[in-house]
């Protein structure tokens, strides 16, 4: 049997489109300054160009096969695994949170196969996303997924201390496959995933995860 992973059914550019304006600006500034003043004066712009290239990288990922798997919607470190209130669906839920620093991939991907039932945007503060209160005080955008088995999963993009722009590209009625790209957060943030209380967590505090590759829980 072949072990080659199947081709992803959606496009994944190596460099996220959200970063194209920043790349053009800094690359042009770097080249113009190099030509006019030399490498020394241009070095800060070349460093910023390299930073933009690494921050907005968007590698292809292949979702693991299996029933009831909840995949990480973001790259980063697990900062919460706890039972708490889901403020979006007014229920008790298992909450798993992933904190992203500026060196992580910031493309956000669907944690489950399912239909988008609703989305909510909530303005707020920009405190350190590593703190628990960021989930309730920071700017955030929630997406409610109804899985193909009828389970409710809420994935919440939370802005951070440096993050100032949450991008979400799905609307109610959209049907996504797990691992499919649905949003982006610029410059450090977190994603909270709310699951039914009977979900079985498969990660622990401090674990490092990759979006659409690592499993957070089993429904």
Domain presence at residue 208: yes
Domain presence at residue 12: no
| Domain shared by 159 and 121, yes or no | yes
| Domain shared by 42 and 122, yes or no | no
Q: What is the pTM of this model?
A: 0.79
Write down the pLDDT at residue 48: 83
Q: Which domain holds residue 106?
A: 69-218
Q: Is the pLDDT of residue 137 over 70?
A: no
Q: What is the domain count for the chain?
A: 2
| Domain shared by 190 and 84, yes or no | yes
pLDDT in tens, 77-93: 999 999 999 999 999 99
Mean per-residue pLDDT, 39-60: 80
- The partner residues of 100 in beta bridges, in order of sequence, read 189
| Domain shared by 202 and 175, yes or no | yes
Backbone torsions φ then ψ of 213, nearest 5 degrees? -110, -40
Domain presence at residue 43: yes
If one counts every other C-beta atom within 10 angstroms of the C-beta of residue 84, the result is 15
| Domain shared by 175 and 197, yes or no | yes
- Select, from the ranges 49-53, 71-75, 185-189, the one with the highest average predicted confidence (pLDDT): 71-75
At CB < 8 A and 24+ separation, what contacts does 91-95 make? Answer: 91/152, 92/197, 93/154, 93/194, 93/195, 93/196, 93/197, 94/194, 94/195, 94/196, 94/197, 94/199, 94/201, 94/217, 95/135, 95/192, 95/193, 95/194, 95/195
Q: Read off the CATH number of the domain in which 207 is found.
A: 2.70.70.10
Position of tokens 């700017």? 139
Interatomic CA distance for residues 155 and 95, integer angstroms: 10
CA atoms in the 13 A half-sphere facing the CB of 83: 7
Q: Share the mean pLDDT of the chain.
A: 83
Active site residues per annotation: 189
């Amino acid at each position: 049997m072949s072990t080659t992973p199947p081709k992803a059914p959606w496009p994944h550019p190596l460099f996220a489109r959200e970063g194209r304006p920043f790349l053009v600006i800094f690359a042009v500034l770097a080249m113009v300054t190099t030509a006019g003043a030399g490498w020394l004066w241009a070095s800060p712009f070349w460093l910023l160009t390299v930073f933009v290239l690494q921050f907005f990288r968007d590698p292809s990922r292949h979702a693991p096969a299996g029933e009831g798997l909840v995949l990480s919607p973001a790259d980063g470190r697990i900062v919460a695994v706890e039972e708490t209130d889901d403020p979006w669906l007014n229920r008790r839920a298992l909450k798993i949170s992933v904190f992203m620093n500026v060196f992580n991939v910031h493309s956000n991907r669907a944690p489950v196969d399912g239909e988008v039932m609703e989305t909510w945007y909530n303005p707020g503060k920009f405190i350190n996303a590593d703190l628990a209160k960021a989930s309730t005080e920071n700017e955030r955008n929630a997406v409610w997924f109804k899985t193909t088995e009828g389970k409710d999963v809420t994935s919440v993009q939370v802005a951070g201390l440096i993050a100032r722009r949450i991008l979400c590209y799905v609307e109610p009625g959209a049907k996504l496959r797990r691992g499919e790209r649905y949003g982006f957060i610029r410059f450090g943030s977190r994603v909270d995933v709310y699951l039914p209380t009977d979900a079985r967590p498969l990660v622990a505090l401090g674990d490092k995860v990759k979006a659409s590759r690592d499993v957070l829980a089993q429904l």
